[in-house]
Amino acid sequence: MSGNQWGPPRQPGYYGPPPTGPQYGWGPMPPQPPKKSRGVAVLVLGLLAAAGAAAVIIALKIAQGDDDVAVTRPVATSAPTYPTPSVPVATTTSLPPPPTTRPPTPQPTRTTTAPKEVSPLHFIATHRLYKTGMQRSVNCKESRSGLGNGSKATAYYRAVKACLDRAWPRQVQASGSRFRTPGLISWVGSANSPCGNSDRSLSFYCSSNHTIYMDVADDIQYWRQNQQFTRALAMHTVAHEYSHAVQQMTGILPAYYKVRYQMPNQAAQLEVNRRMELQASCLGNTFLGANRGSYPISGGLYRQWLYIVNNSGDNTSLPRDHGSRKNHGAWSRSAFTSRNLSKCNTYTASAARVS
């Protein structure tokens, strides 16, 4: 097919996300530890506790970002000792009689109340990120590399990420968080990451090493069928995965794991998961909307983007952890049009809007 055709590639049964695999731009969630018997929901994030950098077996690898943090265990030290002051011993004959004075008036004891701990859900729902306003254009230009092979697809992903690296620091820092540029690795065949291994066709973000993993196999195949569709899909996927990195930098993603862990049943856990994933698509599309003029996302490319966001979502035969296609489209379109992060607070939305 030519790159000017509107609609999805001609793949049998294609209707959005692969019917038997993970959804576009979405990766697996890490396993959660068992709850303690005393009922206190203490979450040890398996995702964040993965030790070491796993060897990545890939055909293409790009490691970006320079925020590897070396953690040094504190060294136990003994408490400092101080010399005991010398106290003179007084005799009764050398001291004058004590003056007669009125006993001091007792002062009321001032009590302080420890600040109430903010729940993880309240932390996310009232986060300052939503008050940082509209995404601003950074005049991103689309890469002309195309996605016809692995190296070209990698160059395309890197160009989108470079734009995101320029777009997000202002609002991450305005929310009171530290911005850290995530890395990006392209892979085909299988990927090994600190968050787990994958031999399935998917792209995902790993918080253990703050890295986006982009699978190029599908994009190369789609490029041969419909170039505009592939461009729209690639930029949407990179923006979505980068938004998970934004959630990590702002503390939203770690708090999400705690909220999910505390849920009483699987249905409640899935709803929390949908809120997190729909938020990532919303955040990503504020970026695309802000840069739609210079990119440019208009005409045929806009129609392909619109098709993707309206047809991405949960398959009824799989666990419903990403949101219906209707809701995915609604959050994405609203973000693209408004470009305002206030529209991405999925944690205060009704259950129907995140179903």
The DSSP 8-state label assigned to residue 92 in this structure reads: T
> Hey, how many other C-beta atoms are within 10 angstroms of the C-beta on 96?
5
For residue 28, pLDDT over 80 is answered with: no
Output phi, psi for 269, to 5 deg: -65, -40
Collapsed DSSP state (helix, strand, coil) of residue 159 = helix
| Mean local confidence (pLDDT), 56-84 | 32
Q: What's residue 124's pLDDT?
A: 98
Tokens 């955040």 sit on residue: 283
pTM above 0.75, yes or no: no
pLDDT tens per residue across span 147-195: 999 999 999 999 999 999 999 999 999 999 999 999 999 988 877 889 9
Choice between 74 and 264, residue whose per-residue pLDDT is larger: 264
Q: In a 10 Å sphere around its CB, with 0-12 CB exposed, 13-18 middle and 19+ buried, how is residue 5 labelled?
A: middle
> Hey, how many other C-beta atoms are within 10 angstroms of the C-beta on 92?
5
Q: What's residue 83's pLDDT?
A: 33
For residue 52, pLDDT over 80 is answered with: no
pLDDT tens per residue across span 286-344: 999 999 999 889 999 999 999 999 999 997 778 899 999 999 999 999 999 999 999 99
> Hey, how many other C-beta atoms are within 10 angstroms of the C-beta on 343?
19
